[in-house]
Structure 1
Amino acid sequence: MSDEQPSPDLTIVQVRVYRGPNVWSYDKALHVVVDLGVLEQFPTNTLPGFTDQLLELLPGLEAHTCSRGHRGGFIERLREGTWLGHVAEHVALQLQQEAGHDIRRGKTRQVKGVPGRYNIVFSYVDERVAQAAIALAVRLVNHLVQPEPEFDFADLLDTFLRQAERTAFGPSTAAILEEAVSRDIPWIRLNEHSLVQLGQGVHQQRIRATMTSQTSALAVDIAGDKELTGKLLASAGLPTPGTESVRSAGAAVTIADRIGYPVVIKPLDGNHGRGVCLDLKDGDAVRAAFPTAQDQSRRGWVVVESMVTGKDYRCLIVGGRMQAIAERVPAHVVGDGMSTVQELVTETNADPRRGVGHEKVLTRISVDDAAVELVRQQGFGMDDVPPAGEMVKLALTGNMSTGGISVDRTFEAHPDNVEIAEEAARVIGLDVAGIDFICPDIALPVRETGGAICEVNAAPGFRMHTHPTVGEPQFIAKPVVDLLFPPGAPSRVPIIAVTGTNGKTTTSRMIAHVFKGLGRKVGMTSTDGVVIDERLVIRADASGPKSARMVLQNPRVDLAVFEVARGGILREGLGYDRNDVAVVTNVAPDHLGMRGVDTLEQLAEVKAVVVEAVPRDGAAVLNADDALVRGMRRRCSGEVVWFSLQAPGSDVRDMIDEHCRRGGKALVLDTSDKGDMIVIRHGRRTMQLAWTHLLPATFGGTALMNVANAMAAAGAAFAAGAPLHDIRQGLRTFSTSYYLSPGRMNMIDVQGTDVVVDYCHNPAGMRALGDFVERFANRRDAKADLGKPSRIAMIGAAGDRRDEDVRELGEVAADFFDVVVVREDANLRRRAPGEAAEMVADGVRARMAQGARCKQVTVVPDELAAVRHCMALANRGDLVVLCADKHAGVLAELEGLAHQAQAGAHPQGLVGDPDLDPAELRP
């Protein structure tokens, strides 16, 4: 132990929010990197009084099991000695528990190679609450190490709970979501309040609190107009009080005189019982109460109605059927003969079931001027001591939001009263309605005992039914979810996720094309954008979780195909909870040295997240030729479908043969003198799919990377249930034209020169592209004007890659091309202009010195200038490969050159295709 003294050095270095499966967790989680500073030398057992003070402030920590697996396990760790990053994790979990979020999962791990730094990962319900929890946890730990003079934990905890209440779902929304989750119905929060999407794509339904996609807007308007509601109910023969609406206190008194006292006045379009004034016995009381009601009326109208005496009951009607009834008792205290009214209120609010707003099952009683006046009318002051057993009301209405309590009466209601309530909901037209009954006893028919329906409420609260103060809770979210998703109705769209270093975009497009042929409305994300039913709706790099959620929110989508990139997984996770099919094309060196991923094995760990997100009834389509991808089979909960280019007799084919003997599925190549046939194997069955040389995307079978992509796409479609004939037809009609596969192996003829436009940008991709160039060039007829056709390439590397990867790109290209022209990306990614291009050129020169094929290398940083330079070097019959950054601009430039050759003069402007975006013509 060093001579240093503990100081409050715990700091948050980084916060990352994962909104789906990620490298740390199968579920959404918050990832926080903390630095302990000098506290790395001080575990908890070296800090006198630390554990006792912590437990005094947060006694709920006693229930934490930690790694010990039993209650009190975390306390044992504290007393034995654990590091303060671990303590911050458990405090953050407990703070979320205090806010009503049942969160228990978390882990703390040291950052490799960095002493004193720790990764803290824990689950959350609301990400904003989780971030506030870890911030307060760190501050509390530092305070316990060295007291902070202005630190008041009780006050900060109250502020935290209030913030959590503002951001959290209300009890009604939470109850519906809990029921949806229990049925495996996914949900997405659409705003910061209570607007939520249940289900995905074409199956989606929406709720806002207890209003649903099926709630009539007209019915909501009617229910919000209390006078109109009364008239419609009365016309249906239902018991209602006499009601009229006014806009002045004088008119209110006139109406009250006519209908007779006592009366009630309330806002015409209010809610939550705000502005309701009861038991007004004369004109002066009406005049005094009128401003209170009018202040809560959005349009300034106030309702005057005859006073109906009795108990206050709320009947909940869902889908035309009565589901629950609660008696609402106004906020009150009961005297004990010793305590003042104020002391009784304080004691009542100390009930752990009471909280701020809707955070708990009961709301704290608020003592405002109206409550003080009501207490005075009952003959008491707030400092008076009421007799033992005497009830003192602090509110006239029984709303839960004002501190009232509820008593479940669901099974006590008279059938006639149930029928009246159900009829009232039908008359107004609400699918979910709260019917407010005032009557002496709900167990007796109101037509005989007296009573009336005083209100019909749209979006009724569920808290009084799900968490009654007295009686059994009613599970009323079930019929609501039944309305939206009847038993057997689907809520999810099939999701196919494609990842890998190279080939994932083309594979995604092939899969989407297959299912488009089946008539599906496919939503697809890729590095080019978001495509909905073959329409590009957003042009951007859309291979991340936000784009995936955008597709799942689209109401036309009935199948989703997501290209999943490494960056999105590391940044936010997957953005959805699971994928039915996962495809992994390969793992090769790219993006290494970024976001803590330094090795191929670490990169494979990241890409394996999509495999881990496969459910038991799903499938992972894996490249058996890649050792790192093969290793992912252990991460898959569902079945594994292999694909391989290896010939029979190889170790990989032997492994696949054994897999199929056990009933598994695989796609392999069967070679004959007629060519290579893609074959689907399922157990003992063998099904021929297609000759590789007849698939347009393979360029007569020479583009082996697209043969592999086609096999991966076929495996995904087969695993997702597509018929064999439709898979075959989809692959036969998918070409690498610019319209089906923009920027991926697009071949066009420009002045007798074959030009290929591709996205290749890393060494592994360049090797695959070079293999295609070799195969394709060897099969071409000689078109050159003079001698042997030349191979010319334009290449460029992303600036955020490692120096060795940038140079290697040039080294690989030098082996396959005669001339290499090096360009730069429009986004230099923190490198100096010309730096990345010169590194690529250095790699080319290094291989040239070793005798590589390349004989000339030129640096032309501007992409379009580089395109023109390549085309100026090319003769008829040459092969030009353009590895483009902005493919639309490159294709437009080539189109202009072709038009120039046909017209015999330089065009005044490019003859642009509508799909070639002019905005991309310049970097």
Structure 2
Amino acid sequence: MTDSATPRPDLRIVSSRVYRGPNVWHYEPAIQLVVDLGVLEDFPTNLIPGFTEGLLERLPGLRNHTCSRGRRGGFVERLEEGTWLGHVSEHVALQLQQAVGHDMRRGKTRGVKGVRGQYNVIFAYSDEKVGLAAGELAVRLVNDLVEHDPAFDFEAELETFIIRGERTAFGPSTQAIIDEAVSRDIPFIRLNSSSLVQLGQGVHQKRIRATMTSNTSSVAVDIASNKELTLTLLASAGLPVPRSASVREADDAVRLAERTGYPVVVKPLDGNHGRGVILDLNDAEAVRAGFAVAQEESRNGLVIVESYVTGKDYRCLVIDGKIAAIAERVPAHVVGDGTSTITELVDRTNADPRRGVGHEKVLTKIKIDRAAVDLVAQQGFGMDEVPPAGEMIKLTLTGNMSTGGISIDRTLEAHPENIEIAEEAARVIGLDIAGIDFIAPDITQPVRETGGAICEVNAAPGFRMHTHPTVGDPQYIAKPVIDMLFPPGSPSRIPIVAVTGTNGKTTTSRMIAHIFKGIGRKVGMTSTDGVVIDERLVIRADASGPRSAKMVLQNPRVDFAMFEVARGGILREGLGYERNDVGVVLNVQPDHLGLRGIDTLEQLADVKAVVVEAVPRNGYAVLNADDPLVRAMRRRCSGRVVWFTLSEPGSEVWESVDDHCRRGGRAVVLERSELGDMIVVKEGRRAMQLAWTHLLPATFGGRATMNVQNAMAAAAAAFAAGASLHDIRQGLRSFSTNYYLSPGRLNEVQVEGRTVIVDYAHNAPGLRMLGDFVDKTAVTLDKASELGKVSRIGVIATAGDRRDSDMRELGAIAAQHFDVVIVREDVSLRGRQRGEVADLIAEGVRTAMGEGVRAKQVEIVLDELEATRHAIARSNPGDLIVVCVDQHASVMSELESYGRQAQPGARRDDHASTNSVSDPDFVASAADSDPGSTEPALF
């Protein structure tokens, strides 16, 4: 216990994070709050007087929460027994979202390891702004229940929260379409803060904005917006319409009304939602007054005068040429009860929880304006008078929902001839989704006989009068919309392959993308080098995060997605997509430890396992059987597992993989013989030879063991994604580590007789594998050298956010494989002082040198280009130089500049302005030298 004997309102939010996809906490999007209880750590709910009662009084919906008990009322039991206030905040945040119609129920609260009184509060959300606001209000409410703050008015705060939630939520029409899409497993992406939504992914995508779709004709929308033109076209098609014409002056409106014959209607030529529509005008004075109102709502100043058709107001919704729903629209009104004034009746009607402002809810509140007061007066009443019981008092003349009207479903009652007329009207105008406004005495009778007519055709008609009728059965009109956009059997998703691991992610991703490009697919790829769309680099940055993945899925050319998934992106925002058809985990090795709360390899494996957890039941997880931490991820996979392994027959791993295949599973293995190593794809009892490793260019004759492993993983992923063995074989045989296919990854350059290898190795495990390649390559060079053994020179560095011990280990490993180690530093020091990283690496080299390893000398040259020049300057022809790069384009430009020195007139400093790496995607730019020019955290 602390010194305090009474609880204080100490609960506070330390940090918040929004996960926009599968993450380390859950398979679906979630918000994480780290909260500090302060003194409240010693006061669970049963020790705070009146807390439970006060909480349930303010949020009675909490009584329905099951919590861990799995039954209704389980959370109340926890409150009464005593639970901590971080857990309470989780449930309050969920219940607050329920108040704005977001049915969120998932949550968990876990203590922050090693920190007393701090908790991770995790809860689901639908809209991230609403979710974050719910978390903040939850903390304020809990504190207020501990000790009341006079300045905190929960009811007012709750109302503000609800209004905010309703404003950011999708409208009823958009939400109906999205709900139908989700029920069919069609993914969606919200493209702005309003109603612009993408349904589907990549090449299969369709867009909607409310009830306008990708199929909606712009010409048809323009026609529907021009009411005079609409009626002219409908009349020319023989459809029943009122007589009408447009005018700009009130005098012309009066003359037209007299020629047409009273009563008439005036309305704006290009209006909507019933604004400015004045009905049943019977004299010149009324026409002049109505003209002024209509012209004010007209964007171009034109007003239509048309004959008044008597009858009820019906809205016929036509989708893809077929009637989907019909609703009778009743104008806003109240019915007298013999005791209440009209004003009181309106207030009582507006108190209906179904009514909101604008389109926030299924009904709109009735607005009392001058037009409403005048209309009531025409019916012989004042707003403060009491109408007789049962008498209907109209408050608007039009039946639009947006002016407070109600709807009655008449879908099954319409006469077939009227249905045919409505469908023909939509075809004449050319709208895929159209709202046909009928005025008719009775929709069950043919309008040609009863005298009804079409008075308007509307583009982007609202759905709520059909999905939430005031009277009658709701119509599921989103179904024909989705049927139109995605006919049964048509795809909405593109294949997604995700690759993660400590080392090899980029090369493996490029191999897979190269295989599918060879098949003819339009591949969208994200990696640490940027976003590539159909072989074109569109963004140069570290793009291995979730936002880059979303960019690819939004591109309308992409029909195959290849994502490199980094640890940082998963921890920052989760995955940028819902699921991946194939998830590849290459390895889990000690790198990035000590960052973002990840201190052990097991924790790092949990992060990378998110990719495996995102594999659906019909998907595949491609796992490295040689890595115990990766092997354990099979238990987290809902789909099938494909193993790849370098192990030899007889080993425990080989036997396990072989047993997996005998039971019908898949694996990619290496079969060794005197002729070389053969990559073999196994499925069940079948074994299919794929390629000799030494014939794959990326393996350097089989010397680059890391690329042998990467090629096996790529083959397994491509096979799981549907590529044929022939296509996989062809892709791997044509993929090399030249700068254009794999920039910065094991690129070999000949510089004045020296062999220079450019690679990205920046951690101890990666450098160990590179060192193995260096040893094998050096043996080959020794045999070809007239002088015997060649010298090995390594230029190495690592990021400043690694642990000191990791930096020393990097130096120790380098010392085992190089004769001379040159230590440089990255441009971005990541919180370190200039020279600090290099000193730590050099310390590791010197320590290893004292133990008698290969290295005989270590030097520090901090600038990357200067270190590269120094390595070449101190080498001799035939030597092997390895440059572990940060800005690969600049280094490659520097190396290739040596080849131009022999040209007539060339100067040594020409490389500063010339880059012989001719592909513009990889030309050195400000982004390569200025760490502030890109923002990796955005991708």
Distance in 1, Cα, partners of 2:249 & 2:57: 56
Bigger mean CA deviation after superposition, 310-319 or 84-93: 84-93
Counterpart of 1:799? 800
Counterpart of 1:564? 565
- Find the residue that maps to 1:877 and give its secondary structure: coil
Counterpart of 1:613? 614
Counterpart of 2:189? 188
- Find the residue that maps to 1:192 and give its secondary structure: coil
Structure 1 residues 747-788: Cα deviation after superposition (integer angstroms, max 9, x where no partner): 011111110000000000000000111112122344557452
Counterpart of 2:45? 44
TM superposition shift of 1:347: 2.2
Aligned residue pair count: 923
- Find the residue that maps to 1:456 and give its secondary structure: strand
Distance in 2, Cα, partners of 1:185 & 1:888: 40
2:231–2:241 Cα contact (<8 Å) kept? yes
- Find the residue that maps to 1:77 and give its secondary structure: helix
Counterpart of 1:361? 362
TM superposition shift of 1:402: 2.2
1:241–1:306 Cα contact (<8 Å) kept? yes
2:440–2:447 Cα contact (<8 Å) kept? yes
Residue 770 and residue 130 in structure 1: after superposition, are their counterparts in 2 closer, same or farther (change >3 A)? same
User: What one-letter code is carried by the residue in structure 2 that aligns with 1:200?
Assistant: Q
Q: CA RMSD in A?
A: 1.6
Residue 267 and residue 150 in structure 1: after superposition, are their counterparts in 2 closer, same or farther (change >3 A)? farther
Alignment of 1:258-273 (within 5 A): 258-273=259-274
Distance in 2, Cα, partners of 1:86 & 1:293: 57
Counterpart of 1:919? 925
Counterpart of 2:222? 221
User: What one-letter code is carried by the residue in structure 2 that aligns with 1:181?
Assistant: V
Counterpart of 2:936? none
Residue 655 and residue 864 in structure 1: after superposition, are their counterparts in 2 closer, same or farther (change >3 A)? same
Distance in 1, Cα, partners of 2:85 & 2:272: 48
Counterpart of 1:175? 176
1:784–1:875 Cα contact (<8 Å) kept? no
Distance in 2, Cα, partners of 1:22 & 1:373: 59
Residue 251 and residue 156 in structure 1: after superposition, are their counterparts in 2 closer, same or farther (change >3 A)? farther
Distance in 1, Cα, partners of 2:888 & 2:659: 44
- Find the residue that maps to 1:411 and give its secondary structure: coil
Structure 1 residues 536-573: Cα deviation after superposition (integer angstroms, max 9, x where no partner): 11111110111111111111111111000001111111
Alignment of 1:537-552 (within 5 A): 537-552=538-553
TM superposition shift of 1:638: 0.7
2:782–2:789 Cα contact (<8 Å) kept? no
Counterpart of 2:765? 764
- Find the residue that maps to 1:245 and give its secondary structure: strand
Alignment of 1:827-842 (within 5 A): 827-842=828-843
2:336–2:386 Cα contact (<8 Å) kept? yes
Counterpart of 1:575? 576
Counterpart of 1:426? 427
Distance in 1, Cα, partners of 2:294 & 2:135: 43
Residue 373 and residue 53 in structure 1: after superposition, are their counterparts in 2 closer, same or farther (change >3 A)? farther
Counterpart of 1:70? 71
TM superposition shift of 1:399: 1.6
TM superposition shift of 1:363: 2.3
Distance in 1, Cα, partners of 2:98 & 2:891: 56
Counterpart of 1:104? 105
User: What one-letter code is carried by the residue in structure 2 that aligns with 1:343?
Assistant: E
Counterpart of 1:449? 450
Percent identity between matched residues is 72
TM superposition shift of 1:335: 1.6
Bigger mean CA deviation after superposition, 502-511 or 292-301: 292-301
1:579–1:613 Cα contact (<8 Å) kept? yes
TM superposition shift of 1:907: 4.2
Distance in 2, Cα, partners of 1:182 & 1:677: 46
Structure 1 residues 325-356: Cα deviation after superposition (integer angstroms, max 9, x where no partner): 00111222212112222222222223232334
Structure 1 residue runs of 4+, over 6 Å off? Answer: none
2:522–2:560 Cα contact (<8 Å) kept? yes
Counterpart of 1:148? 149
User: What one-letter code is carried by the residue in structure 2 that aligns with 1:914?
Assistant: S
Distance in 2, Cα, partners of 1:807 & 1:286: 89
TM superposition shift of 1:499: 0.3
Structure 1 residues 180-230: Cα deviation after superposition (integer angstroms, max 9, x where no partner): 111111111111111111111111111111111111000000000111101
1:751–1:901 Cα contact (<8 Å) kept? no
TM superposition shift of 1:265: 1.7
Distance in 2, Cα, partners of 1:252 & 1:543: 64
User: What one-letter code is carried by the residue in structure 2 that aligns with 1:342?
Assistant: T
Counterpart of 1:859? 860
Counterpart of 1:131? 132
User: What one-letter code is carried by the residue in structure 1 that aligns with 2:831?
Assistant: R
User: What one-letter code is carried by the residue in structure 2 that aligns with 1:119?
Assistant: N
Counterpart of 1:740? 741
Tell me the TM-score normalized by structure 1. Answer: 0.98
- Find the residue that maps to 2:390 and give its secondary structure: coil
Alignment of 1:341-356 (within 5 A): 341-356=342-357
User: What one-letter code is carried by the residue in structure 1 that aligns with 2:245?
Assistant: E
Residue 76 and residue 403 in structure 1: after superposition, are their counterparts in 2 closer, same or farther (change >3 A)? farther
Counterpart of 2:510? 509
Counterpart of 2:309? 308
Alignment of 1:713-724 (within 5 A): 713-724=714-725
Residue 85 and residue 373 in structure 1: after superposition, are their counterparts in 2 closer, same or farther (change >3 A)? farther
1:783–1:789 Cα contact (<8 Å) kept? no
User: What one-letter code is carried by the residue in structure 2 that aligns with 1:288?
Assistant: A
User: What one-letter code is carried by the residue in structure 2 that aligns with 1:674?
Assistant: L
Distance in 2, Cα, partners of 1:242 & 1:5: 79
Counterpart of 1:336? 337
Residue 889 and residue 714 in structure 1: after superposition, are their counterparts in 2 closer, same or farther (change >3 A)? same
Alignment of 1:10-21 (within 5 A): 10-21=11-22
Alignment of 1:523-672 (within 5 A): 523-672=524-673
2:781–2:790 Cα contact (<8 Å) kept? no
User: What one-letter code is carried by the residue in structure 1 that aligns with 2:287?
Assistant: V
Residue 801 and residue 43 in structure 1: after superposition, are their counterparts in 2 closer, same or farther (change >3 A)? same
TM superposition shift of 1:578: 0.4
- Find the residue that maps to 2:596 and give its secondary structure: coil
User: What one-letter code is carried by the residue in structure 2 that aligns with 1:285?
Assistant: A
Distance in 2, Cα, partners of 1:513 & 1:402: 58
Alignment of 1:391-430 (within 5 A): 391-430=392-431
User: What one-letter code is carried by the residue in structure 1 that aligns with 2:83?
Assistant: T
TM superposition shift of 1:393: 2.0
1:822–1:861 Cα contact (<8 Å) kept? yes
Counterpart of 1:673? 674
5+ residue gaps, structure 1, are: none
TM superposition shift of 1:667: 0.8
- Find the residue that maps to 1:389 and give its secondary structure: coil
Structure 1 residues 590-619: Cα deviation after superposition (integer angstroms, max 9, x where no partner): 111111111110100000001000011100
Bigger mean CA deviation after superposition, 35-44 or 471-480: 35-44
TM superposition shift of 1:72: 2.0
- Find the residue that maps to 2:893 and give its secondary structure: helix
Distance in 2, Cα, partners of 1:909 & 1:592: 42
- Find the residue that maps to 1:909 and give its secondary structure: helix
Residue 493 and residue 807 in structure 1: after superposition, are their counterparts in 2 closer, same or farther (change >3 A)? same
Tell me the TM-score normalized by structure 2. Answer: 0.96
TM superposition shift of 1:99: 0.9
TM superposition shift of 1:366: 2.8
Counterpart of 1:459? 460
Counterpart of 1:471? 472
Distance in 2, Cα, partners of 1:65 & 1:587: 38
Distance in 1, Cα, partners of 2:612 & 2:134: 31
